Amino acid sequence: MTLLYQRLQEKKVKFNHVCEVGVYVPTVSNIGDFIRDGISATLVEADPVIAKEIETYFKGYDIRVYPFAMWDYNGVLQLSKAEASTFVSALASSPALENDGFKVNASTHLKCPASVFRRSILVNLTS
């Protein structure tokens, strides 16, 4: 049980829908406890392999998985994978670069679809 889930349960906060962007792996999802409680969820993960793992892990639950990166344009985005951190390769700064000393190189690149938030998610949540 995550600390977030535990604190919200103690306060008796109720949700109809939860969302997580950048899931990493389903076993450590920040909203997994909510999903297992039957709350509908939207999960966004740019890595297509991980997106499939999320669908498999939460099979049978009320979830929608979006296999793309949220960005400021629709198209293709190049990401770098650094352990638990995936970030836009073109950025000059990220936690992996600043805190972990990660070096961007071609072997860590991942190209994925990118989509503007309002066009990709909000329309689907209301339909």
Core vs surface per residue 89-108: b (16+ CB within 10 A) or e: beeeebebbeeeebebeeee
Question: CA–CA separation, 96 vs 41, rounded Å?
Answer: 28
**What's 15's DSSP letter?**
-
pLDDT tier at 126 (50, 70, 90 boundaries)? very low
The arithmetic mean of pLDDT across residues 76-104, rounded, is 85
What confidence tens digit (pLDDT) does each residue in 100-111 have?
888 888 888 889
- Would you state the pLDDT for residue 35? 98
In the chain, where are the structural domains located?
1-67, 69-127
Q: Which residues, 6 or more positions from 103, have their beta carbon under 8 angstroms from its beta carbon?
A: none
What confidence tens digit (pLDDT) does each residue in 28-79 have?
999 999 999 999 999 999 999 999 999 999 999 999 999 999 899 999 999 9
